[in-house]
Chain A
Amino acid sequence: MNFAASDLPVTPGTPATPAELDEDPKHTLKILVAGGFGVGKTTLVGSVSEIRPLRTEETLTDKSAGVDDLAGLERKSTTTVAMDFGRLTFGGGVRLYLFGTPGQERFWFMWDQIAYGAVGAIVLADTRRLTASFASIDFFERREIPFIVAVNRADGSRHYTIAQIRDALDVDPHVPVMLCDVRDRGSAKNVLVALVEHAIRFAPAPGP
C-alpha cells in the first residue's frame, strides 16, 4: 500500500511573505445562483469567475422517494451532487464565492447552508420555463434573502419585456428583474453588480 500522502510532515508553516499574506483570504462572501437544470448556471459562473470543481455527497431522505430517477433505490441513500463553484479573488484578501445548486426542492438543505450569511441570490430564469423559478423565488422571499431575477436570453425569449416577465413572476416591485446573456462576461458581471447594489440596501451598517 502507498502511504506517501500520510507521511507528509505536519509542521507549523514557515512565515508567509508579504505578497502571500495579501493573497490569504480575509473577507469571504457568498452568492447563490439558483435555477433549474439547463438554465445557464454553469455558464454564468464560468463567464465571470475562476471555476473550480466541487461536489458534495448528500444523504437523501424519504423526502425524495418517488422521484423518477431514484425509483427502485432504498428510501435513504447518498447521492453525489455536483455544485457550480466559482471564485473571484480581489485585493486585500477579499474573495467572492459563487455557488450554483440544482433548483429542485430536494436540494434545499444545501441552499440553507449556503444561504446563511450570503450576500444574496441570483435567480436565473428562462422565459420558456418561467414557472420553474417560482420555487426559488419563494425560497428567498420566505427567508428574507436579497435576490434578483436574471432572465437568460436563450433562443426565442426576446419577445418578452421586463414588465411582462415581472408580471408573470409576480415578484415584489423592489426586486430587480433584468435580462442577461450568461455567455457574455460583461453581461454576467452586470448581473453580479445588480445583486450587490440591491443587497447593499438591506445590509447592516459596518461595525466599529
Chain B
Amino acid sequence: MDAPRERWTGQDAGPVVRPYALTGGRTRPRGAPFDLVAILVATGKAPGERVRLTREQRRLLELCRRPSTPADLASEADLPLRVVQILLDDLRRLGLIERREPEHDRARPDSRILMRVLDELRRL
C-alpha cells in the first residue's frame, strides 16, 4: 500500500494549526484591514441561518461583545495579528461587527487628546 509517508493526525499534528489554515489560506483581508487600534464592537445581530462561523470567528465575535481593538483581540485570542485582521474583516462583511468611531478618527490624533495623554503620562 502506498500510504503517505507522513500522516499527521490527532495529537501527532502538534498543538498548532498553520495560521493561514484558519483563514482558508487567505493572507490578507479582502477590504482594507482594520487599524491595529480601531475600536470594534459586535452589532448584536445574529449570524444568518446559513452562516457557518469557524471556532476562531466565534471566539472573536464573543470578545467583541465589549468594544475592543484588533491588537487586543489578537493578544487575548492568542492568534497572529494578521490572521485576526482577516477574520475580523469576515465578521464585518457579515454585519456582525462594526467600527465604533468614524473613519476619519483614525487620522493623527489632535492636540486636545494629546494634551490629555500628556497629563496622564506625567502623573504615572
Contact = CB atoms under 8 A, between A and B. Distances in A.
Interface residues of B, number: 51
Interface string B67-98: 11101101100101111000000000000000
A113 B84 CA distance: 14
Contacts of A20: 66
Q: How many residues of A sit at the interface, in one of the four size bands?
A: 35 or more
A29 B117 contact: yes
A104 interface: no
Given A10-B46, A57-B83, A119-B109, A193 B121 contact: yes
B55 A57 contact: no
A78 interface: yes
A48 B114 CA distance: 18
Contact of A16 (B53, B66, B71): B66
12 contacts: A6-B54, A24-B66, A29-B37, A29-B109, A57-B80, A58-B82, A80-B19, A97-B71, A119-B114, A119-B117, A203-B111, A204-B110
Interface of A: 3, 5-6, 8, 10-13, 16, 20, 24-30, 48, 52-59, 78, 80, 83, 85, 87-88, 90-92, 94-97, 99, 113-114, 116-119, 185, 189, 192-193, 196-197, 199-200, 202-207
